[in-house]
Structure 1
Amino acid sequence: MSDFAGLKALVTGGASGIGRATADLLAARGARVAVLDRDVTGVGKPLLAYRADVTDDTSVRTAVERAAEDLAGLDVLVNNAGIGAQGTVEDNDDTEWHRVFDVNVLGMVRTARAALPRLRRSSHAAIVNICSIAATAGLPQRALYSATKGAVYALTLAMAADHVREGIRVNCVNPGTVDTPWVGRLLDAAPDPAAERAALAGRQPTGRLVTAAEVAGAIAYLAGPLSGATTGTALAVDGGMQGLRLRPAGQ
């Protein structure tokens, strides 16, 4: 496919996981793609790599401007950078709440704020925020993480309303549990990694974890010119976790 031919895209957190799968897919479909991450080791051509920390406004503004200059414009922003958190409301102190919100919510605000002047010059402008099933379903031991992703969902709708008349579409993708390095680290830290993996897979009706490539495909759909009438939408990529209520197997 070459539906992104001539378009320029920027992916935060693009050095690994969902972000890297998305950057690679957009490039394969014809886009010129820049990656922003704290560690861009291993990111090579055809991707352009820029070191940035989404908690630092100056770092973000500098990297976005450099990327837009090198790409000769900007059409697509994928706000993917984020971190996880575990526990109930009792398990994390104020410092940790501020830290995770700073990355997962304000990180998107900073990047979008820096990119909007460039996106306004595009005839195919799109922002895709990476949200989560945690925004719409109650998950145990995910209070802080869920709160940040609920904020991302609300932020996406507000941004879509603010910028639709400027020709900028804003949507989000809500993945289920994705087989990424972060999930891998959680599994490694579990008392029984195999049992924990089976439990995570089992809560998704498909019976398996979502792949980064599947999430990337959804991001590419929302970012691409063929979805020009789609804005203010949350696209679930969760193996049916949000919408399906299956009987137990064998019944």
Structure 2
Amino acid sequence: MSQLLSGQVALVTGAAAGIGRATAQAFAREGIKVVVSDVDAQGGEATVELIRAAGGEATFIRCDVTRDAEVQALVAGTVAAYGRLDYAFNNAGIEIEQGKLADGQESEFDAIIGVNVKGVWLCMKHQIPVMLAQGGGAIVNTASVAGLGAAPKMSIYAASKHAVIGLTKSAAIEYAKKKVRINAVCPAVIDTDMFRRAYEVDPKKAEFAAAMHPVGRVGKVEEIASAVLYLCSDNAGFTTGIALPVDGGATAI
């Protein structure tokens, strides 16, 4: 068992599809009430319907995580809906750029850093006070294996994920004695809509992606969800400030 407490409350950003949707569903299966958030209202509502159809409890709140007022409203709306906030999975992110650093565009930089870094910072900024007031909580941020090393032709994305890990570790130390645990999960290539869009254009990318993992395949969204639930659970009660690779052995090479 994951040792999450049934009846508690989780907030998942970027939950309209992929890893976010799978994690929202995984929380709900544990009896957790889930606030699903995304800029994609249609996808977010679809996630809520999937949770409710399976007997879970969920509600959707639209939020652009780059806007402070919207993030503040998201966290306040979570507390208004369910009375508390026990777990947060700050997963909202945007796709990588495809090109060498000198070919990058300022608009790409602003967009990627805005969502992937500022978005995580704003979410924690508003989630942590709620958790402090209620006596504790657990936060997991989505980083990437690209945040653990070099990532040629995706330097802006890599920089954003290095920054997520820096935010995670720093905040974890700041609040370690306040019973707010903060960790990051670092997926490698995962079978999501984003991944499928890439390999539908070039099928060789799928073969390359599988080969870059020693296990010989890309990851599943459910495998990332399981890692997130572990990091939120009491089983990880002595774990804070880590960046956990879930990568089929890719970073072990």
TM-score, with structure 1 as normaliser: 0.92
| 1:207 equivalent in alignment to 2:208 | no
Which of 157, 160, 170 lines up with 1:145 in the alignment? 157
Query: What is the CA–CA distance in structure 2 between the aligned matches of 1:213 and 1:85, rounded to whole Å?
Result: 22
C-alpha separation between the residues in 1 aligned to 2:134 and 2:190? 32
C-alpha displacement of 1:186 = 1.7
Amino acid at match of 2:77: R
Unaligned ranges ≥5, structure 1: 246-251
Q: Does 1:81 align with 2:105?
A: no
SS where residue 121 of structure 1 aligns?
helix
Partner of 2:236: 227
- Corresponding residue for residue 111 of structure 2: 99
2:10 corresponds in structure 1 to 9
Is 2:176 the counterpart of 1:175?
no
Q: CA deviation at 1:112?
A: 1.2
Q: Distance in 1 between matches of 2:67 and 2:232?
A: 26
Contact 2:184 2:243 (C-alpha < 8 Å) held by counterparts: yes
Paired amino acid for 1:92: G
Structure 1 residue 124 displacement after superposition: 4.5
* Mapping 1:104-119, distance limit 5 Å: 104-119=116-131
Give the SS at the match of 2:124. helix
**1:149-182 deviation per Cα after TM superposition (whole angstroms, max 9, x unaligned):** 0111111110101111221000011111011111
What is aligned with 2:248?
A: 239
Counterpart CA distance in 2 for 1:20 and 1:159 is: 25
d(CA) in 1 for partners of 2:153 and 2:5? Answer: 39
Contact 1:124–1:225, Cα closer than 8 Å, also in 2 = no
In 2: Cα distance, 1:60 partner to 1:107 partner: 8
Aligned AA for 1:22? T
Q: Aligned partners of 1:3 and 1:139: how far apart in 2?
A: 35
Q: Which amino acid aligns with 1:166?
A: K
Q: Provide the rounded CA distance (Å) in 2 between the counterparts of 1:28 and 1:158.
A: 31
User: For the residues of structure 2 that align with 1:188 and 1:122, how far apart are their CA atoms?
Assistant: 47
Q: Distance in 1 between matches of 2:5 and 2:245?
A: 22
Q: Which amino acid aligns with 1:4?
A: L
Q: Name the count of aligned residue pairs.
A: 241
Identity %: 36
SS of alignment partner, residue 23 of structure 1: helix
Q: Secondary structure at the match of 2:251?
A: coil
TM-score (norm 2): 0.91
Q: Is the 8 A contact 1:187 1:196 kept in 2?
A: yes
Higher helix share: 2
Task: State yes or no: 1:21 paired with 2:22.
Answer: yes
Alignment of 1:17-96 (within 5 A): 17-41=18-42, 42=46, 43-44=48-49, 45=52, 46-86=57-97, 87-96=99-108
Partner deviation per Cα, 1:49-96 (whole Å, 9 max, x = no partner): 111111111111112211121011001111100012222212221221
Paired amino acid for 2:180: I
Can you give the 5+ residue segments of structure 2 that lack an aligned partner in the other structure? none
- C-alpha distance in structure 1 between counterparts of 2:14 and 2:152, whole Å: 26
Contact 2:65/2:123 (<8 A) preserved: yes
Match of 1:121 among 94, 119, 133: 133
The 8 Å contact of residues 132 and 149 in structure 1, kept in 2 or not, is answered as: yes
2:13 counterpart letter in structure 1: T
> Alpha carbon RMSD of aligned pairs, Å?
1.3
